[in-house]
């Protein structure tokens, strides 16, 4: 074999059920110790936003939500969705008029205040009676995990927080980045490349969807720009200029 | 290190400039031989559609194209695009009314007859005077490459043809799959996952954008369903049901 450039994606085994109040950085450090896996400087740790949401207590019981007229109007277009879930999606966009929510076919997407456009505005079902919201500040969650791993392992790693998302033309979902720490999310060496999303998708191959029980993957060998001040916003269009692009 | 599952993505060096009439399968076989790299059964070879388009002679000179009224009307919304390029995009959607083309901001997308929705309907610039269209049948191109590599190397590999594409909310581009051979493009073990796009994005990390000169990457170690009849359409929504979803 020649010395061609390559990188590796590995699922981290040993992550059990996450409980509210858990420290996800510690959970990952424990799984590393339990499996005998060592990190290397420069590794990119991809973490499913769902486990961070659970740890951060971002679960909301549906019986605490009263849908507005706007939610009922939108829900009429997608009857299979609960109106209280639709209300939660509207709430996540921070625009009560529903103008930052797009419905087409049986697909609903929401344009978050930071500029991200996600299926269901990142709102996940959490059983029949509750929903799970995105972490409050995924960049901060990523920074906390990286700091914890630095102390626990002595390695400087970057972290990408991922969420599952689909395309309008394809069936199924892949993963995109919703938060970063350490890694510049946009690569610009040969035109603009959404490196954070490429790595989130590469991790998704090993992580699988939520029921697969593999919410963490380690990406090793990718050259990237390290920047401790990197934020997901660096890869997002100006939220004020995106108007119209959210209609999909 | 533990025995956790992992996979590897490697850029294939040694692919030179492609010329019209080249056999891309042979070009890849030559690069493998020149770099001493061996394939393994089950490898997934990701190939940029651009080199196949060039090999297949899918270049069209702009001075052979006369924009219709529809193209001129759409082009007025995105003045930086050449009206003849807009006409080519409309032509790719096979709907002269322009109803399968969506413009928002400075972004134009086209809904292809097979159900794919791509930036510029997959039409690429090829210098100031020409455009490059997608391969005529990317699944067939993938099959041809796999067959060639089987003869040249004795290995049974799968092939994914990739195209660069972006999201409405993020800057930059990643890669999506536009054609497959051998690999079932949708993974359904834990809900529906767009495996073909995950692998296209994973390959993009090593391939880079067009000017990087690395149009082929080898993905090794991913478990997937092998199916010699797999087609990209297996991952696409029914083209008749997608209406409205192409408006993004």
Residues A230 and A162 in one domain: yes
**Number of structural domains found in chain A:** 2
Residue of B nearest to A113 (CA): B169
**Nearby residues of A140 by Cβ (< 8 Å), 6 or more positions away:** A179
C-alpha to C-alpha distance for B177 and B141, rounded to whole angstroms: 13
* Residue finishing a domain among A132, A161, A176: A132
Tell me the CATH number at B149: 3.30.1330.100
Q: Please give the residue range of the domain that contains residue B73.
A: 59-132
pLDDT at A3 over 70: no
Residue of B nearest to A197 (CA): B174
Quick one: pLDDT at residue B4? 64
Residues B90 and B200 in one domain: no
Quick one: pLDDT at residue B54? 96
Quick one: pLDDT at residue B106? 80
Chain B residue numbers with beta carbons less than 8 Å from the beta carbon of A176 are 167, 170
Distance from CA of A121 to the nearest CA of B (A): 12
- Tens of pLDDT, residue by residue over A80-124, are 999 999 999 999 999 999 999 999 888 899 999 999 999 999 999
Residue B240 lies in a domain: no
Residue with tokens 């929903």: A131
Average pLDDT for B76-102:
95
C-alpha to C-alpha distance for A243 and A240, rounded to whole angstroms: 7
* Residue finishing a domain among A132, A147, A180: A132
Average pLDDT for A164-192:
93
Distance from CA of B37 to the nearest CA of A (A): 5
Residue A68 lies in a domain: yes
Residues A106 and A160 in one domain: no
| Burial environment of residue B69 by CB neighbours within 10 A (0 to 12, 13 to 18, 19 or more) | exposed
Residue B29 lies in a domain: yes
Average pLDDT for B171-177:
95
Residues A40 and A139 in one domain: yes
Hey, how many other C-beta atoms are within 10 angstroms of the C-beta on B242? 19
Distance from CA of A88 to the nearest CA of B (A): 21
C-alpha to C-alpha distance for A183 and B170, rounded to whole angstroms: 16
Residues B146 and B47 in one domain: yes
Q: Which position has the higher pLDDT, A209 or B162?
A: B162
Quick one: pLDDT at residue A2? 41
Residue B157, classed as helix, strand or coil, is: coil
Quick one: pLDDT at residue A104? 82
pLDDT at B243 over 50: no
**Nearby residues of B104 by Cβ (< 8 Å), 6 or more positions away:** A244, A245, A247, B168, B248
Residues B44 and B164 in one domain: yes
Average pLDDT for B112-135:
94
pLDDT at A176 over 90: yes
Confidence of residue A213 (pLDDT cuts 50, 70, 90): confident
CA angle at A110 for the pair A228 and A124, rounded to the nearest 5°: 80
Nearest to A37 among B2, B116, B173 (CB): B2
Average pLDDT for B63-72:
96
Quote the mean pLDDT of chain B. Answer: 92
pLDDT at B95 over 50: yes
Quick one: pLDDT at residue B241? 54
Residues B30 and B122 in one domain: no
Residues B72 and B37 in one domain: no
Chain B residue numbers with beta carbons less than 8 Å from the beta carbon of A9 are 6-9, 202
Residues A166 and A87 in one domain: no
Sign of the alpha-carbon torsion through A225, A231, A235, A240: negative
Quick one: pLDDT at residue A135? 97
Quick one: pLDDT at residue B63? 96
Q: Find out whether B38 and B152 touch, Cβ atoms under 8 Å.
A: no
C-alpha to C-alpha distance for A42 and A40, rounded to whole angstroms: 6
Residues A123 and A146 in one domain: no
- Tens of pLDDT, residue by residue over A223-244, are 999 999 999 999 998 765 544 4
pLDDT at B2 over 50: no
* Residue finishing a domain among B84, B117, B132: B132
pLDDT at A206 over 60: yes
Least confident of A125-134, A142-151, A234-243, B191-200: A234-243
Quick one: pLDDT at residue B248? 35
In chain A, % of residues over pLDDT 90: 85
CB contact under 8 A, B236 and A175: no
Chain B residue numbers with beta carbons less than 8 Å from the beta carbon of A248 are 168, 245, 247-248
Residue A217 lies in a domain: yes
pLDDT at B3 over 70: no
C-alpha to C-alpha distance for A162 and A120, rounded to whole angstroms: 15
Tell me the CATH number at B108: 3.90.1660.10
């Amino acid at each position: 074999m020649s010395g061609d450039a390559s990188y590796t994606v590995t699922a981290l085994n040993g992550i059990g059920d996450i409980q509210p109040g858990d420290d996800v950085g510690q959970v990952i450090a424990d799984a590393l110790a339990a499996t005998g896996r060592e990190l290397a400087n420069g590794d990119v740790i991809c973490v499913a936003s769902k486990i961070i949401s659970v740890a951060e207590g971002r679960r909301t019981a549906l019986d605490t939500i009263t849908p507005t007229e706007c939610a009922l109007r939108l829900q009429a277009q997608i009857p299979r969705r609960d109106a209280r879930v639709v209300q939660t999606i509207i709430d996540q966009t921070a625009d009560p008029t529903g103008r930052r929510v797009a419905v087409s076919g049986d697909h609903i997407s929401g344009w978050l205040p930071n500029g991200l456009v996600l299926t269901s505005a990142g709102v996940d079902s959490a059983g029949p009676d509750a929903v799970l919201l995105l972490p409050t500040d995924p960049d901060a969650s990523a920074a906390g995990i990286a700091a914890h791993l630095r102390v626990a392992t002595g390695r400087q790693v970057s972290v990408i927080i991922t969420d599952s998302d689909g395309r309008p033309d394809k069936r199924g979902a892949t993963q995109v980045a919703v938060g970063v720490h350490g890694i510049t999310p946009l690569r610009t060496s040969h035109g603009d490349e959404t490196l954070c999303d490429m790595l989130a998708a590469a991790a998704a191959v090993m992580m699988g969807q939520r029921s697969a029980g593999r919410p963490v993957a380690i990406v090793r060998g990718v050259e990237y720009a390290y920047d401790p001040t990197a934020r997901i916003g660096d890869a997002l269009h100006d939220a004020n200029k995106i108007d119209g692009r959210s209609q999909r």
